[in-house]
Chain A
């Protein structure tokens, strides 16, 4: 079984051009780069992601949660008269609320990013390809998954060779 076919490129511009071309013929196209290449995700048809929304929710839960805790403990569960101040002294409840808003949002951003990215995933067919070691160093890869409707081991390989890569390698399942 084949997982995908990988075409290797030397630079980000070659990869961007190749991705734009490949997207006209194939749907299940992936691109791998040693750093974030501007415009690559857009070229793959990804215009926005849900990390900001998750971060917002995390912040609201963190801040709202701790304010509720402060209110519940100071007004309902353990009301004490502290210098005649109102039980729900909201101005002094703000600092913990602020801190936990940040904490909730940061945790959500981090965990949300990992979950949406499908990480942690310690094993992946790509790691069976020795050449892929260089994807975290200086090489740029274009992958076409075998599950694509128009994937054909021979024709797709020829197509990829036509994009003028350094080489084309097969990723076994």
Chain B
């Protein structure tokens, strides 16, 4: 293709939008061409800046730490962690529940809001889905790491083996593997399917032969034919309808891992809705934490607007209030059960050795997020970013509180044993965060962060105007 002062010109005479230019002018509407060029250029021509390199180096260092922690664990055993009896479940399970939860908001945004015809989801669904996949990938690793003999993880899968035994279908731990495996496969399918038309755009727009072939292979030869679109939309809607009950079932099953146990603090019927809501809460927090720098660094403020952030903040507030309600009901249920162990557990939780953690949970998940009632704060990206971080921390601590503080006081006082994390516990957590961020950066580098095809349609129906 010819160029003219940095502007690419298509053989037909059509001029592409030059990267970094301020089009359209302030107040004018975005056309399909401008949307496509702007978003496609983020992966095709935008050079990697210094910030990107620094982020890449830092996150790959943490990914390396994660790999070292896993290798050392596999070579030595779970003794390198602070786990003991009775606290056999600690960081690994806390990380597992936290990461699965973070994934939930992505599916909620992309599937649930699609069914509810919330058109604002168009700008945020792609990166939220990517967030889901990477979070669930981190989550899926954690139970395998904590197995003790992780090389037997495949024993959870039913297959006709030479030992002539089958999994115990009555155990929620078996349900877990079905739920998590289904969740990650369906999330990847849903994400990839939405990507196909965008990959075709990248294929048609790419200059180098390598990129044309790479994107072309994954675009599967998409031509945007009307009959193809018709089947595509049907399948997309069906997938959304399937993903919505799926996402609720996944965290329900995760919560049953705990509530099927007799441990006071776990054995409660409130767990499924409590966990699902907590999952959405942490997920919306992560979506906001990712969206704020994304729109600032890649200059996507016209696509991911303050309105989008504000709507996600409202969802954060609603789920946060339900979490608050769950804390109250949990304490009330313990009192109402008149069971000495349940009552003792709540007392220990808030006044025992882990009291600082429990009160931090209340601070991070209940008290500070009340600031979201302020409409002004909901429209302040920086404040929302900080608040999202606080909620993410609070939700991690909440999972830790539920898992560890409940296990630490066994029924027999002679079994009581405190849990203290070791370096490798912390390295696994920090490493998983780094690996998540690393994969997210790779996603931003190679795939469009916003759905171009959906945004083209959206811009046609409801004009998106340039603000700067």
Asked if A and B bind, the verdict is yes
Encoded as 1 (CB less than 8 Å from any A CB) or 0, chain B from 225 to 247 comes to: 11111111111001100110110
A123 touches B221 (CB 8 A): yes
B168 is an interface residue with CB less than 8 A from chain A: yes
Q: Which of A33, A77, A89, A102 contacts B224 (CB 8 A)?
A: A33
Q: List 29 A-B pairs, Cβ < 8 Å.
A: A12-B460, A19-B226, A31-B226, A33-B224, A44-B227, A46-B226, A51-B238, A66-B178, A70-B169, A73-B166, A78-B165, A78-B166, A98-B249, A99-B178, A99-B246, A100-B182, A102-B249, A103-B185, A106-B186, A106-B189, A106-B239, A109-B235, A109-B242, A110-B193, A121-B221, A123-B221, A133-B205, A137-B201, A138-B31
B302 within 8 A of A: no
Binds A, one of B7-15, B279-287, B358-366, B367-375: B7-15
State the 6 A-B residue pairs at the shortest beta-carbon distance, nearest first.
Answer: A41-B230, A113-B235, A120-B220, A73-B166, A138-B33, A35-B457
User: Are the CB atoms of A46 and B227 closer together than 8 Å?
Assistant: yes
Q: Which of B14, B217, B221, B227 contacts A41 (CB 8 A)?
A: B227
- Majority-rule SS of A interface residues: helix
List A residues 87-109 near B (Cβ within 8 Å).
89, 92-93, 95-96, 98-100, 102-103, 105-107, 109
B321 beta carbon closer than 8 Å to chain A = no
Per the bound structure, the CA–CA distance linking A132 and B12 in Å amounts to 10
Identify A36's interface contact among B193, B221, B457, CB under 8 A: B457
Q: Is A69 an interface residue when CB atoms closer than 8 A count as contact?
A: yes
Min C-beta distance of B206 to chain A, whole Å: 10
Cβ proximity bits B249-269 to A, threshold 8 Å, 1 near / 0 not: 100010010000000000000
- Which residues from A are CB-within-8-Å of B204? 132-137
Q: Does A154 contact B (CB under 8 A)?
A: no
**A65, B460: Cα distance in complex, Å:** 45
Residues of A within 8 A of B31 (CB): 138
The residue on B at minimum CB distance from A94 is: B175
Whether B178 and A96, one on each chain, are in contact in the complex, defined by CB atoms closer than 8 angstroms, is yes
Could you tell me the distance between the alpha carbons of A137 and B203 in the complex, rounded to whole angstroms? 11
Q: How far is the CB of B461 from chain A (nearest CB, A)?
A: 9
CB within 8 Å for A133 and B230 given contacts A34-B224, A55-B235, A113-B193: no
* Known pairs A85-B170, A99-B178; A130 contacts B12 (CB<8 A): yes
**CB within 8 Å of B: which A60-86 residues:** 66, 69-70, 73-74, 77-78, 82, 85
**Which residues on the A side are within 8 Å of B457 (C-beta)?**
35-36
Q: A99-B179, A100-B178, A122-B217 are in contact. Are A134 and B189 (CB under 8 A)?
A: no
- Asked if residues B453 and A35 are in contact (CB atoms below 8 Å), the reply is yes
A96 touches B174 (CB 8 A): yes
Q: Is the pair A122, B220 in contact by a Cβ cutoff of 8 Å?
A: yes
Known: A36-B230, A106-B186. 11 other contacts (CB 8 A): A49-B230, A51-B234, A74-B166, A77-B164, A95-B179, A96-B175, A100-B182, A110-B239, A130-B11, A136-B222, A137-B204
- The answer to whether B253 touches A116 (Cβ under 8 A) is no
Q: Given A43, A49, A98, A103, which contacts B186 in the complex, CB threshold below 8 Å?
A: A103
A55–B217 alpha-carbon span in the complex (Å) = 25
B253 contacts A95, C-beta separation under 8 Å:
yes
Residues of chain A contacted by B175 (CB below 8 angstroms): 95-96, 99
Q: Which of A36, A70, A103 has the most CB of B within 10 A?
A: A36
Type the 1/0 row for A114-154, where 1 means its CB is closer than 8 Å to any CB of B: 10110111111010001111111110000000000000000
User: Does A40 sit at the interface, judged by CB under 8 A?
Assistant: yes
Contact assessment for B197 and A136 in the assembled complex, using a CB-CB cutoff below 8 Å: yes
Q: Which residues of B contact A44 (CB under 8 A)?
A: 226-227
**B binding-site residues for A, Cβ under 8 Å:** 10-12, 14, 31-33, 36-37, 158, 164-170, 172, 174-175, 178-179, 181-182, 185-186, 189-190, 193, 197, 200-201, 203-205, 216-217, 220-235, 238-239, 242-243, 245-246, 249, 253, 256, 453-454, 456-457, 460
CA gap between A123 and B124 in the complex, in Å:
32
Instruction: Judge whether A28 is part of the interface by a CB distance below 8 angstroms.
Output: no
Residue in A105, A109, A167 with the greatest tally of chain B CB atoms within 10 Å: A109
B182 touching A103 by the CB < 8 A rule? Answer: yes
The residue from B164, B226, B238 contacting A105, defined by CB atoms under 8 A apart: B238
Tell me which residues across on chain B come within 8 A of A40, comparing CB atoms: 226, 229-230
B158 neighbours in A (Cβ, 8 Å): 69, 73
User: In the assembled complex, which residues on chain B have CB atoms less than 8 Å from the CB atom of A105?
Assistant: 238, 242
Q: Is A30 interfacial (CB-CB < 8 Å)?
A: yes
A3 CB to closest chain B CB (Å) equals: 12
Nearest opposing residue in chain A for B217, CB measure: A122
Knowing A32-B225, A120-B221, A124-B221 touch, does A55 contact B238 (C-beta < 8 A)?
yes
A136–B204 Cα distance when bound, in Å, is 7
